[in-house]
Chain A
């Protein structure tokens, strides 16, 4: 059992959750993820590692409420226990000196890319962070990024322009490229469509690019093949071979199709959850 040490609602959709998991905290690195299972009947939910506190033996994740499990997770309070917190999972991000790196986070991808950006900065890279959200109410981590030394420049954008620049993260990236900024690596984490668009842009400009794929996972131990993605013409398992892959090798079309596989069941579970928990997760 793993106690929730701190829970902070960041906005209507996103919450930061700090849980006790000393073994995970001891080892986890940027780019890796954690699997949690709330209770005996729960599914195994992959969530990216955001922060850790070695002294307290805790890890922090930021989740977005989008379905039954994340809505139920949102009903857990400080002091409550999670059945399982497993990690680190997946391979750590490849941290080395590249030169100039643009780290792009879309929505809940921003906290996911933040630890990678920090590590890249520590490795001596010039780090540019681009972070995008649908609107100003959903903006998270901005003050944290600003306060941290990890970004040499930080660009914030919203789809509707209600905060920061108006537009998508990919628009900002294109501007940077057009301005003639020399970029050695792009590291993007966010909605699949965002990652695909970015991959298309950087492929045209020949900029090496990494993405972190959130395929549907079951065990996350390499045993089931649920998370399989085609990378460079080969079948890879996102849970153990990834989640980070060369964006230009990923078959996005297939990836984007596969992540919708359980849509009908997800809707059903959500409907049932709402019926049983009125007022929750509107």
Chain B
């Protein structure tokens, strides 16, 4: 048996930084079968416990090994309605693959890429069965937000016969998957395909409806028997530093939304602009920062990650860090911005930076960075992207009487029932947890759907 993974074909760094096409090409059927055959089919299957939605990993992997790709898809779809997406964006190395037994013998099974393979193969070869919907029920459910959490909840409820209406603030569904994660990681075509499934299920998708702004929660309550709030953590966080309002300073949300959702990389064919950039400094080192830094490269700029810890402590997926490095993103680690300096016209031109050192990590935590006094130095940047996290958008919760939130805006729910402090209003995903992951948001959507079914039964 090969202790090493079957390599995933990828486009070369030189080729890919010229466009927004996807980077890893994915396994061919033969490669997938070969990789699947490495799985030991462990009796205790620790990998399952590493997956937040308990996918029966040995089962679907074995089905791939047997070339029963359609069965593999069914196994995945039992608990995960968007495998093409999770296979691409889950932090597998911290989840399913982290606990795979093969890790000790060489490489863990490439569960993510196998998952992606099954979904892609099924889509490309029309293996998907049209969804079966139970008899239509009387009860109506409203879903607020069309990110992974809302989508999952909607799909489960619709499959069960509930009449589901989805309300989305933006003009396109998908949440962060659409406006945040760039196409070179997650092509829109894939998201749209998964969303088509919702349409087939008869989910009524209403775009441009911002609950709390142009739709009232009270109004929804009158028309629906239950409500699921999955509004995500979409509000940008800033650093509160001098010069943050200079021209050329973006939040990661703005930077990525301009480029992804509004397609500013095709400006002026598309109307939404983005400023011309020569040297971009992205503050932060999570997935969002990697996406911004790699997008900047593709806009033709020199791109730097400015991070106060070292790369090993970066919360981003390993694959993203590796890809960023291969493509030529520079990592300025142990660096913390002090302020941004502008020119006479108000454009950012420099970042003043402190050097940092890492203190001893606290119990199972990350080491905290300590700013070293008198180490300030200036670095030139004509564009700065602030990617230090997001918080829930207050437009929903400030206008939702009876829905209590934590001091930072996270909706408070009963862990058991998944209901917020307002009767019949359930919540989950980033809106509850703060910025987390696609699979956790999805898992929340599942749990909420089950609880809503119970509540309406």
State whether the Cβ of B276 lies closer than 8 Å to any Cβ in chain A. Answer: yes
Q: Are A221 and B263 CB-contacts (below 8 A) given A88-B214, A260-B247? A: no
Chain B residue, CB-CB nearest to A240: B395
Complex partner residue of A266 from B210, B248, B250, B273, CB under 8 angstroms: B273
Complex partner residue of A221 from B210, B238, B262, CB under 8 angstroms: B210
Which one of A225, A226, A261, A266 has the highest number of Cβ atoms from chain B below 10 Å of its Cβ?
A: A225
State whether the Cβ of B320 lies closer than 8 Å to any Cβ in chain A. Answer: no
Across-interface contacts of A246 in B (CB, < 8 A): none
Size range of the chain B interface in the assembly: 35 or more
- Bound-complex Cα distance A4 to B7 (A): 55
Q: How many A residues, CB 8 Å from partner?
A: 40
State whether the Cβ of B295 lies closer than 8 Å to any Cβ in chain A. Answer: no
State whether the Cβ of A138 lies closer than 8 Å to any Cβ in chain B. Answer: no
Q: Is the CB of A37 within 8 A of B273?
A: no
Q: Is the CB of A224 within 8 A of B271?
A: no
Q: Are A269 and B273 CB-contacts (below 8 A) given A218-B258, A222-B395? A: yes
Contact with A along B311-350 (1 / 0, CB 8 A): 0000000000000000000000000000000000110000
8 Å CB interface, B136-186 against A: 169-171, 179
- Bound-complex Cα distance A219 to B393 (A): 13
Chain B residue, CB-CB nearest to A234: B240
The B contact surface, by secondary structure, is loop
Q: Is the CB of A268 within 8 A of B268?
A: yes
- Bound-complex Cα distance A266 to B214 (A): 30
CB distance from A67 to the nearest CB of B (A): 10
Q: Is the CB of A41 within 8 A of B213?
A: no
- Bound-complex Cα distance A44 to B270 (A): 11
- Bound-complex Cα distance A228 to B246 (A): 11
State whether the Cβ of A235 lies closer than 8 Å to any Cβ in chain B. Answer: yes
Binding site for A on B (CB under 8 A): 169-171, 179, 207-208, 210, 213-214, 234-236, 238, 244-245, 247-248, 250-251, 253-254, 257-258, 262-263, 267-276, 345-346, 393-395
Binding site for B on A (CB under 8 A): 23-24, 27, 37, 41-44, 68-69, 83-84, 86-89, 218-219, 221-226, 228, 230, 235, 240, 254, 257-258, 260-262, 264-266, 268-269, 272
The 4 closest A-B pairs by CB, nearest first: A265-B273, A257-B346, A43-B271, A224-B254
Q: List 26 A-B contacts (CB under 8 A).
A: A24-B214, A41-B263, A41-B269, A43-B270, A69-B271, A86-B214, A88-B214, A219-B169, A221-B213, A221-B234, A222-B234, A222-B235, A222-B393, A222-B394, A223-B179, A223-B393, A224-B253, A226-B250, A226-B251, A240-B395, A254-B245, A254-B346, A260-B346, A265-B268, A265-B276, A269-B268
